[in-house]
Structure 1
Amino acid sequence: MHENLIAYLASCGLESENQSPDAPVPSRNQTFLVRDGKGKRLLVKRSHIDGPIAMTHEGQTIIQLASLASEPNCPLILPEVHSIEPRLGLLVLGWLDGGEALNYYHWRTGRYPLALGMTLGRALGWLHRESRALRPSLGPQAFVEGRFGNPRPFVYLTLDNYARLSQAGLRFFEMIHSDDNALYELYRLLQYPTELTLLHGDVKLPNLLRLRGRKNQIAFVDWEMARWGDPARDVGALFAQYIRAWLAPQTQREKLDQAGVCQFLRVVLNSYRRQRGSAYPLERDFRYRAIRWAGVSLLYYVFGAIHNTEYLDERHSSLTQQAIGMLNDPYRWAWILLEAA
C-alpha cells in the first residue's frame, strides 16, 4: 500500500510536505499536505476503514455541489477537488489558504460574534435550499445514509456492541434506556420522512472554517457523511456545538453564558429561515426537531468521550441528562434557547 501511495503521488507530480504518508494513523482518517509542481498546497485525505467508499463519496459530493456554489453571493465555500483515487482510498483537495476552524477561533478569541452566526445560518440555509435541485438528477441513492450521527445505536443496542461497552458505557446507556419517553423520541426521529435536501452530516466546529478576507462566507469541509435527510438534523448539530459551550465548556475560554448562546442561536435560526425563503419555508415543528437533533448530537459527544476515556464523569453525566431533556421536552428548550426574551 505504501509503495502504491508513493507511486500515485509521484504520478500526479505531488510531493509530501509535512509527514510521511505511512506515518502512524491516530484515527480512521489520515491527512497530510503535499505540493504540486508549481508549489501549490494540496490536502490529501486517506481513509483506513472504508476508504474507497468514503473518499469517493466525499469527492463526488463536493463536485456536485461546486456547480451550485459558484453562483454570486453564495455564502458557502467548498474545497476544490484535485483528484480521487478509489483504489487507495485517497481524496486530494485544494488547500484553503487563510482558513481557521471555528473551534480554534472561539478558543483563541473567546468571541462569538453575531455576524458569524448569521453567516452560519445563511450557509446551511443555502445548502438545504439549493441542494434539492440535485435530487432529480442524482436519485435517492446518490448519497448514502451515514452510519454516524443518527440515533439508531442509542435505540437498538446489539448484543455484540453491548459486550464491548466499558462500565462507563454501560452506565451511559442505562441512563438513556431507563427513560422510555426519550427512547420513543429517538425512535420517532428514525421514522421521520426523509426530505429532499442534502445534509452535510457532520456539522461540528472543526469542520467549519473562517477564511481571511471573506467575512460573509464560511467553508464546510469533511463531506464524507453527507446524506439526504431531515434538514433539522444539520441545524440541531450546529446548535449542539454552542449549547455545549454553555452547559459544559471544556475550558473557560470557550464558555458562553445563557444570554450569549440564546442570542447566537436565534441569529443562526433567523438567518437560516431567511435564506431558505418563501419557496422552502420552515415547518411549524422545525425548531423542535432541531432541538431533539441537538440532543442526539450531545449524546454522541458524550459517547465519544467515554469511549476514549472509559470514564463517565460528572460533566458528561450532566450533559447526558440535559440531552435526554431535549428529547423529552423540546418545547421547553426551544423556549429557553430561541423564544425567551
Structure 2
Amino acid sequence: MVLALPELTTYLLDRRHVHPEAVVDGGLTIVDASRRNHNVLVSAEPAVGLFVKQGRSDPVQSATGWTGSGSLAHEAAVYSLLDSLPRPSSGGGITGALPRCRGFDADRDLLILESLPDASDLTSYHSRTRRFPATVGTRLGTALADLHERAFHAARRNPADFPGRLPWVLGIDRPGTAFYREMSNAGLELVRILQSSPELRAALAALRTGWRQDAFVHHDVKWDNCLVLAGGASGRRTRMALVDWEFADLGDACWDAGSVFGSYLGCWLASIPVTGSELPDRYLELAEYPLTRMRPAMGAFWAAYAGARGWDAATADAALIRSARYAGARLLQSAYERAQGAARVSTTVVCLAQLAENVLVRPEEAVEHLLGVPLRGEPGRLGVPLRREADLVGVSLQGGADE
C-alpha cells in the first residue's frame, strides 16, 4: 500500500529520518518523482535529503517472469551487497557511484535512499548541453568495470537473491501467454514483424544459449539511470552515480556494456527526422546528434572499461563484438517500449527494430561503422563512410508503419 504524503511525513518522523524541527520551520518539501515505482524527493533543513521509493507492480516485468527481480526488496538486497564491498581509498569505483541506502521496510515495500542534489541523468544532461563528453564515458566505464569485477564473488554466495536471469528481451520473438496479455496492438504488431526475420531470431537464440554468468551486472544501464553530479566545491559534474538497481543480478558483463552503446545509438537514431516508411541517406545528415559527436565518448567508455578489466587485445575484441550484439538487443527493447501503448507501429519503431537487427546480425560492421571503436587487433579502423551507416539503418523488415 502506497503511503499518502501526510502518512509518509509521519512515517519519516516516527523513524527519525526527519527531525520535527524540519516540519515546523525547516521548509520541509516533498516532491513527486515517480517512474516505474512511486517515488518522492524529501528535503528540509537541517541537512535532510531523501529519495523514497514505494513499490508498485510493473506488468511487463510480471509477464516476463522476473519474479523477485524488479522489486524493492531485491534492490535493497543489492544495496546491502554493494555496501559490503571494501571502499577504495580513492573513493572511486562502484562504491563511490552509489547513493547511500538509509533503510528498507519490507512490510510497506518502502526503500529510503539518500538523494543526490543537483544530479542530472544523462538523458537530460546530453539534451541540455548538446554535448557528449569523453570524460562521462570514462567514468561510466570505470564504474562498470569495478562493479563487474568486485561484486561478482559476493553475489555468487547468494544464489537465492541472484539466480542469473536472462534479459527478457532476448525472448521477445517467442513471448508466452502472460506476455501477450500485456501487449498493446503496436507491441503485437512489432513481435509479428520480428518473427518474420529468420536472421534476427537466430541471433536472439544465439544470445540466449550463449548467455554467461561472469559478472554482477546492473542489468538496466540506460541514460535515465546514469547520473552526473558535482564532485567538489567547483560545482563541475565530475562524479558519476548509478541508480535503480532493481534488476541487478549475476549475468553477462557484455550486457551492461552493450546497454551503454545502445543508449548512444538509440539517441542518434531518435534525432534523425524520419518521415514516410523509408530512411534515405540524406536523413542521416540531418541528425540532431550525429554519431561523429558521440564516438569519442563511446571510445573513451570502452577504453576505460577494457583497460580496467585488464584484458589482452583478443579478449577485448571478442568482448567488444559481443557487447555490440547486446546493443542490438537493447535497441529491440527500446523499440518495444516505444510501441507499448500505441495502436500502430510507427516508422521510428520500425527503424529502431531494423537497426537492432542489423547490429545483432552484423556486429563487426556495427563496431566499425557505427560505434567507431577500433578493434585492438586491427588498429586504425576509424574511417566511417556515411554510406555504411545507411546500410546499417535501412528498413527491410516486413511490416507496416504509421507515423
TM-score range, shorter chain: 0.7 to 0.9
Structure 1 residue 290 corresponds to structure 2 residue 323: yes
1:189 counterpart (207, 213, 216): 207
- 1:284 deviates by 4.7
| Inter-CA distance 44–250: structure 2 relative to 1 (3 Å threshold) | farther
Shift of 1:197: 1.1
Question: Could you tell me which amino acid in structure 1 is paired with residue 310 of structure 2?
Answer: G
Pick from 110, 120, 139 the counterpart of residue 100 of structure 1. 120
Cα 1:160–1:312 shift into 2, 3 Å: same
The alpha-carbon distance between structure 1 residues 272 and 104, as it changes in their structure 2 partners (threshold 3 A), is same
Partner of 2:49: 41
Deviation sequence 1:231-257 (CA, Å, 0-9, x none) = 000011111111112222289999321
Q: Is residue 110–residue 253 contact of structure 1 (8 Å, CA) maintained in 2?
A: no
TM (normalized to structure 1)? Answer: 0.87
- Would the alpha carbon gap of residues 155 and 82 (structure 1) be closer, same or farther in structure 2, given more than 3 Å must change? same
Q: CA deviation at 1:200?
A: 0.6
Determine if the alignment matches structure 1 residue 58 to structure 2 residue 66: no
| Aligned-residue offset at 1:321 | 0.5
- Identify the range of structure 1 (4-13 vs 121-130) with the bigger mean alpha-carbon deviation: 4-13
Q: Does residue 134 of structure 2 align to residue 117 of structure 1? A: no
Which of 14, 29, 39 in structure 2 is aligned with 1:17? 29
In 2, are the aligned partners of 1:47 and 1:89 still within 8 Å (CA)? Answer: yes
* Residues 138-187 of structure 1 deviation map (CA, whole Å, 9 limit, x = unaligned): 2333325468x433441322245335544422321122111112112212
Q: Please, which moves more after superposition, 204-213 or 249-258?
A: 249-258
Question: 2:225 maps to what in 1?
Answer: 207
1:207–1:28 Cα change, 3 Å: closer
State the one-letter code of the partner of 1:313: S
Query: CA distance change for structure 1 residues 228 and 30 in 2, over 3 Å: closer, same or farther?
Result: same
The one-letter code matched in structure 2 to 1:158 is G
Pick closer, same or farther for the CA change 1:144–1:32 going to 2, 3 Å: farther
* Structure index of larger Rg: 2
Q: CA deviation at 1:72?
A: 2.4
| Match runs of 1:38-187 below 5 Å | 38-49=46-57, 54-68=71-85, 70-73=87-90, 74-76=92-94, 77-136=97-156, 138-145=157-164, 149-162=167-180, 165-187=183-205
Q: Is the 1:124–1:272 Cα contact (8 Å) retained in structure 2? A: yes
Per the normalisation by structure 2, the TM-score is: 0.74
Task: Say if 1:193 and 1:204 are closer, same or farther in 2 by CA, change over 3 A.
Answer: closer
Offset from partner CA, 1:245-280 (integer Å, 9 cap, x none):
22222899993212223332122111100111259x
The equivalent residue for 1:31 is 39
2:290 to 232, 257, 274: 257
Q: Kindly tell me the number of residue pairs found equivalent between the two proteins.
A: 335
Instruction: Confirm or deny: 8 A CA contact 1:169 1:307 kept in the other structure.
Output: yes
Q: 1:234 to 1:42 in 2, by over 3 A?
A: same
Task: Give distance in 2, aligned partners of 1:27 and 1:221.
Answer: 13
Q: CA deviation digits over 1:26-84, x for unaligned, max 9? A: 65401112358844111100111289871121122122212436212324311101010
The letter of the residue matching 1:89 is: D
Normalized per residue, the structure richer in helix is: 1
Q: Which amino acid aligns with 1:8?
A: Y
Note the residue ranges of structure 1 that are not aligned, 5 or more in a row.
Answer: none
Partner of 2:282: none
2:310 alignment partner in structure 1:
277
What is the CA-CA distance between 1:209 and the residue it aligns to?
Answer: 0.8
Q: Is the 8 A contact 1:69 1:78 kept in 2?
A: no
Query: Identity over aligned residues, as a percent?
Result: 25
Q: Which amino acid aligns with 2:54?
A: R
C-alpha distance in structure 1 between counterparts of 2:103 and 2:182, whole Å: 38
1:334 equivalent to 2:367? Answer yes
Matched, 1:227 2:249: yes
- Structure 2 residue ranges without an equivalent (≥5): 59-66, 274-284, 375-380, 383-403
